[in-house]
Amino acid sequence: MEGLFIEDLAIVYKTNQGPLLAIDKVTFKVPMGNKVAILGPSGCGKSSVLKAISGLVPKTSGAIKFDSKLSFGYVPQTTALFNWKTVEENISFPLQIRNFDETYRKERVSQLMDVFRLSEFGKLYPRELSGGMKSRVAIARSLSDKPDVLLLDECFGNLDELTREALYIELTASFEQLGTTILFVTHSIQEAVFMADSIVVFSNAPGRIKNIIEIPKTYSKTKTFFKSEQFHSLCLKVREALEKNN
C-alpha cells in the first residue's frame, strides 16, 4: 500500500449536550512523497482527522489504511518544545528516548539543523527563539527519527504573514530535500496553495469534503510564486470552493 488512505471516516464526540458529529464520511488519499493540505474554516474538524490518524482520538466509523511499516511524526498547534532543553537537545530527544547511540544522534541533529537553517542556534533555549524558529525546531524534532509521514496541525497560525511566507519557502525546500510525505491542516488559502500538491477542502462543521484541488507540480515554489498570476488564480479557485454552498 503506497500511502495513507482515509475512507468514509466519521468522528463523533460525546458532549454534555449529546453526540457531536465532527467529521462525516471523509475520503481522500495521501500518496507517498506528496504534500496534502486539509483546508477549511475554524471548527470544521480538520484537526480531528490528524488526531484520529495519530491515535489521539478514536474514529467512530470508516477506515484509516496504511502499510503497517509506516511511521508517523506529529506536530501540534503549539510547538510543545521543552523550555529547559536547547535546540540541539529538543531535536535529539526522540532519538534519545529510542536509545540511538550518541554518535548517530549528533549526526542526525546536525543534518536537520543544517536543513532547517538552525546550525547557528543549537545552544539556544526556546525562550530565545522567534516564533518561526520555534516552528522549525518543532518540525525538525518530529523528523529526527525519520517518520514516513509527517502530520502538521496549524503550526504557523500565530505568525505574521511575511514570516509565514518566508517559512513556507524554507520548509518546502527542506521537505523536498528530505523527501518527506506531509499531511497538514490549515485555514490559510495561501499556505495550502504554496505548500501542497493537493488540497482537501472541507465544509463547515460537520467536516465534509467539498472539493479536492490539485496543484501542478510544475510551479516553482519560490518567493516569486507568491506574486505570480498562477498563484492568485489557484487561490481564487480554492476560495470559490470554500465559499460554495454545501
Could you please report the per-residue DSSP string of 155-189?
Answer: TTTTS-HHHHHHHHHHHHHHHHHHT-EEEEEES-H
245: pLDDT strictly greater than 70:
no
- For residue range 169-211, what is the model confidence (pLDDT) as tens digits? 888 887 888 888 999 999 899 999 999 999 999 999 899 999 9
Tell me whether strands 35-39 and 4-15 are parallel, antiparallel or unpaired: unpaired
pLDDT given at position 246:
55
Is the pTM for the entire model greater than 0.85? Answer: yes
Domains of the chain: 4-70+148-243 (3.40.50.300), 82-146 (no CATH)
Question: What is the pLDDT confidence band of residue 234, given thresholds at 50, 70 and 90?
Answer: very high
In whole angstroms, what is the distance from residue 21 CA to residue 32 CA? Answer: 30
- For residue range 141-162, what is the model confidence (pLDDT) as tens digits? 988 988 889 999 987 776 677 7
CA R_g for the chain:
18
Amino acid identity, residue 236?
L
Q: Give the helix ranges, DSSP H, for the chain.
A: 46-53, 87-97, 102-115, 131-143, 161-178, 189-195, 229-243
Task: Please state, in angstroms and as integers, the Cα–Cα distance from residue 175 to each residue in 7, 131, 217, 221, following that order.
Answer: 26, 19, 14, 12
